[in-house]
Every structure is written in structure tokens, then in C-alpha cells.
Amino acid sequence: MSHLKPESNNPFDPLSPAAVVRAAADDELTADQQRALEALRTQDPTIDDRIAFEVALKQSVRRAMVAPASAPASLRATIEGLFGTEPAVVDVPAFTRSHSFWARRPTWVALAASIALLATVAVVMRSPLGSQLGPTVGAPFAAQLVDASNFIVSEHNHCSAFDAYFEHKFTVRNDADASDEVVELLGNPPTRIKLDQAGYQFVGLGKCTVPGPGESVHMIYRPINKTRPTLSLFVQQDDARPDIEQGVRYRLSTQVGAPVLIWRKQGLIYYLFSPDTTAESDACDLLEAPAVEQDI
Amino acid sequence: MERSDFERLALEQLDALHRAAFQLCKNHATAADLVQDTYLRAIRSAHQFEDRGGGIRPWLFTILHNVFYSRLQKESRDPIFLENISMVDTSTSAPDDPPPAWSVDTIDWDHIDTRITESLDTIDPDTRLALLLWGVEGLKYREIAEVLGVPVGTVMSRLYRARQQLATQLADLPAELGFRIRGRTQDHESPET
């Protein structure tokens, strides 16, 4: 059996010829790629030239980026001076990317949203509508969605400030990387990342912890027309929970007016939120969210 | 680790950190400032350093990267600041054709270096840093991922796109320099002179 996949032109397939060539040039071949390279050599007489080109390109990048080769003498003197005077301390400002959502103080908005959501669910579950929901949206599920929605409104508000928290959390800043990241973290590709046609520009993706089982990510979008509010899309691994129906878009109302919209699709659960309901509708269309709506 | 050993190892990385700082901000004065801030934080948190096999270098690069982004947000709390960072549209993934089989002996690399230098200026800071760590500092994909705080796959795809972009900048060189690309279809070959 050949280890090579000559038909593949997927840039992220590690066994595609181009990926094997790059890994060979970088001295980062895996065992599978090593076998693929040997197979490739028997089929393509130019393969070593291709590797040589990649190596040469890397050397050219090195030559282009190596300057400035040395730090200025004045900077060296300053740093040496720091070593002599600056004491090592135990407690330092955190500058790693890890950031605990739970360590932060909840905002009044989040608190208000939480109360509103809990009240909504309490009323709904006691109402005829609650009983109509029956086995489809049971109490534990509704409670879990309230938790999730509360989290989503709070995170959306925090991240829309684009402050230090945004900088720490959103480690992926272009939409092409975002799609890879979703696959890597959640195991399935999202319906789409770009929402330009809905008037929203992708700004970043970061890991987050939407309540409930399964890894999740948060993608945030900035309006192309800057007078509109930001929009957030959270995507969570689908743990095959029995309560949420395929083909239904759930609406969970919030105190800020617009609802959190929730649906399940192809191994993922989507949570969409923006204070602008028109933006939500437009994004839902692009994301191919189910047309059938159900209020919770 | 003794403080004197830490200082010696950290100081050995000054040139590399200064290069990286310059590639992030493209300004000599700001680069020096970033480096100073990086060392200050490194000294204060020296007790947190753990050698995971790559020495002190990836740890210092990680601090530099974080200092850079902390500063960026401090200096511009307006979300518009994101637009001020030099970024190219890397959203489109071209099919992954193998790199051209140029005969490297016949290529005018001085000319190519100039093209690449120009092209690098249009790449976003994070990808520039990834290229530097990969091309100049010789870090492995795994180490670059640690520095940037992203998965290894993301590093590989960023490097892939950066290489694609650089290759695109060089696409017309065969015709310009008059050499032939081997192993390509006829319509990709430049006429021999």
C-alpha cells in the first residue's frame, strides 16, 4: 500500500506531497511522512529539487530576517544593569495566555441577565408552554441552557470591549486558521466561519468553557457598519444529549432584548448572540441554522 | 538554577529577542523597549522558569510575545486598533501544489532576498514571528506553538500560508530571470533564453 496521497491537494493533509516536501525541508518528518517521501521519490524525479527549493526559500527568509543581527550596545548595557538591580520576586503579574473566566468578577449586566434567564425558565416550566415542551426540552436541559446562555451573554459583553481579556482569550485572528482550530478542538468543521455577507467581519477565536459537556470555542465578529453591535458565535462539541432536537432552532430570551439562538448541526452545537436581532437572523441564514424556531 | 546561571543564559538570548521584537513592531526604539520590558518580567519571574528541553529561549520568546500584545491593547483600547496592525488577507487556502522544482543553482538569490524582504513587511506580526522562529531561530513547530500559545496545527498552517504568500511573490521570477521550472506543466514553464 502506498503511503502517498498524490490526489490530495488539501493544504492541511500531512501526507499530501507538498506537506511531505515541507516537512522534509524542515527536518520535521513523521514516520508516516518519511515512508510517504520514499514512495514519492520513486514516482517524482523532481522531488529532491522541490525539497531543495523549500530549504533555499527558508534560507532566504533567514537572510531577510536575521537583521538586526545584534542588539545595540546601549540596550545590552541596560539589560546587564537590570540584572544587577532588579530583584527577583515571587508574585508577578500574570502574562500567560491562560485566563480563568470564573476568576473574574461578574458584571452587573451578566448578573441581571442571569436573573432574567432563571426567571424566564421558571415561568416557562410552570406554564402550559413548559408542559408542551415535554420530553423535548426537559427541566435539566432548560437549566443547562440557561447556564449556557448566561455565560454567553456575559462573555459576549466582556469580549466586545476588546480589552486585555480579549487579547488573552482570542488566540486565533484569521478565519482560515479558525476553521482548522474548530476541527482540531471540536472534531468537526463548522458550517462556516465568515459572516461578511451578513455585514460582520471575523475578529478572533478563542477557547472557552460554555457550561455543559464538550469542548467549546468562542468566535467574535465586528460589524462592517460600525454603528451595529458585535456578534458572537459559540460552538460546542455535541455530546449527543437527548434533549435537543436536530432541525430546531431554540430561542432563549435575555434581558438585553435579543435572544440567544441555539441549534445542533453535524456534530456541533451552535449558540449565536448579538443584541441586534436582525444581525442574528442574517447570521442564522448564512450559518444554515434550522428554520423551525421554538421558544424556551 | 542559580541566579548567575539564569542571568548568563538569559543574556545569551538578547540578540535573538531583539530580532524578534523588531519583527513584531518594525521599529528600533519600540523593539528596544519591548526587550527591556521582557527582561524585566523574566527576572521577576525567574523562579517560574522550567526547562522543558528547549532551554530558556522559548520561555523568553513567550514573554516577549505576551508583552507585545499587552502593550498593543494598552496603547489602543479602541477595537479599531486591530485594523492598524499590518495584516494580509490569508483567508483563502490555495490548493496545496508542491513547490516548484527550480534548479536552485541557477537562481539569483540576491534578487529573491529583496523580494522576500519586501513581502515580509506585508505579513501580520504573529506570522512574522512564526517565520522568524522557524527560519532564523530554528525552533521546532512544537516550540513555536508554545511561544504563540496556539496548537501545532495552527503553526503549520500559518507557516504554510506564509510560504504560499512568499512563493506567490516569486511566481514571476522564472520569466524575469530566464530560467526554466522543471517538473511543471508546459503552461507554467517560462521560455528559455
Question: What is the pLDDT at residue B87?
Answer: 39
When pLDDT is cut at 50, 70 and 90, the band that residue A140 belongs to is low
Kindly tell me if the per-residue pLDDT of A133 is higher than 90.
no
Cis peptide before A68 (omega within 30 of 0): yes
Q: Is residue B64 part of a domain?
A: yes
Q: Is residue B62 part of a domain?
A: yes
Average pLDDT, chain A: 76
When pLDDT is cut at 50, 70 and 90, the band that residue A10 belongs to is low
Query: Best mutation site among B40, B43, B117, B141 for testing chain A: the one with the most A CBs within 10 Å?
Result: B43
Show which of B82, B117, B142 is a domain's final residue: B82
Do residues A283 and A198 touch, judged by C-beta distance below 8 A?
yes
The pair phi, psi for residue A206, each rounded to 5°, is: -145, 155
Question: What is the pLDDT at residue B106?
Answer: 55
When pLDDT is cut at 50, 70 and 90, the band that residue B91 belongs to is very low
The whole-angstrom separation of Cα A53 and Cα B107 is: 10
Same-domain check for residues B66 and B28: yes
Question: What is the pLDDT at residue B88?
Answer: 37
Q: Is residue B141 part of a domain?
A: yes
Q: CA quadruple A130, A136, A141, A142: dihedral positive or negative?
A: negative
**Record: contact A184-B17, CB cut-off 8 A:** no
When pLDDT is cut at 50, 70 and 90, the band that residue B75 belongs to is low
Q: Is residue B87 part of a domain?
A: no
Other residues' Cβ atoms within 10 Å of the Cβ of residue A69: 9
Q: What is the per-residue pLDDT across B18-58, written as a single tens digit (0 to 9) for each?
A: 999 998 888 888 889 999 999 999 988 888 887 777 789 99
Same-domain check for residues B7 and B75: yes
**Record: contact A62-B70, CB cut-off 8 A:** no
The whole-angstrom separation of Cα A200 and Cα A196 is: 5
| More confident position, A239 or B17 | B17
Q: In this predicted structure, which of A217-226, B60-69, B99-108 has the lowest mean pLDDT?
A: B99-108
| More confident position, A133 or B178 | B178
**Record: contact B69-A167, CB cut-off 8 A:** yes
Q: Closest by alpha carbon to A75, among B160, B35, B185? A: B35
Which domain covers residue B62, as residue numbers?
3-82
Based on the structure, what is the number of domains in chain B?
2
Q: Is residue B92 part of a domain?
A: no
Please name the member of A89, A97, A171 whose beta carbon is closest to the beta carbon of B44: A89
The whole-angstrom separation of Cα A18 and Cα A8 is: 9
**Record: contact B104-A53, CB cut-off 8 A:** yes
Question: What is the pLDDT at residue B189?
Answer: 34
**Residue of chain B nearest A13, judged by CA positions:** B96
When pLDDT is cut at 50, 70 and 90, the band that residue B86 belongs to is very low
Show which of B50, B82, B114 is a domain's final residue: B82
- All structural domains of chain A with their residue ranges: 1-86, 108-295
List all residues 6 or more positions away from B83 whose beta carbon is below 8 Å from its beta carbon: none
Q: What is the mean pLDDT of residues A254-272?
A: 86
Same-domain check for residues B68 and B132: no
Q: The pTM is what?
A: 0.49
Q: Is residue B154 part of a domain?
A: yes
| CATH code: domain of residue B49 | 1.10.1740.10
Q: What is the mean pLDDT of residues B107-135?
A: 80
**Record: contact A11-B95, CB cut-off 8 A:** yes
Q: What is the mean pLDDT of residues A185-202?
A: 89
Q: Is residue B10 part of a domain?
A: yes
**Residue of chain A nearest B182, judged by CA positions:** A46
List all residues 6 or more positions away from A70 whose beta carbon is below 8 Å from its beta carbon: B15, B18
| CATH code: domain of residue B109 | 1.10.10.10
Q: CA quadruple A110, A282, A161, B150: dihedral positive or negative?
A: positive
List CB contacts (< 8 A) between A61 and chain B.
116, 120, 131, 134-136, 166
Same-domain check for residues B54 and B121: no
**Record: contact B73-A164, CB cut-off 8 A:** yes
Query: Best mutation site among B6, B25, B37, B45 for testing chain A: the one with the most A CBs within 10 Å?
Result: B45
Q: What is the per-residue pLDDT across B121-134, written as a single tens digit (0 to 9) for each?
A: 888 888 889 999 99
List CB contacts (< 8 A) between B9 and chain A.
none
Q: Is residue B48 part of a domain?
A: yes
Can you give the C-alpha Rg of chain A in angstroms? Answer: 25
Average pLDDT, chain B: 74
Q: What is the per-residue pLDDT across A101-114, written as a single tens digit (0 to 9) for each?
A: 323 344 444 555 55
**Record: contact B41-A164, CB cut-off 8 A:** no
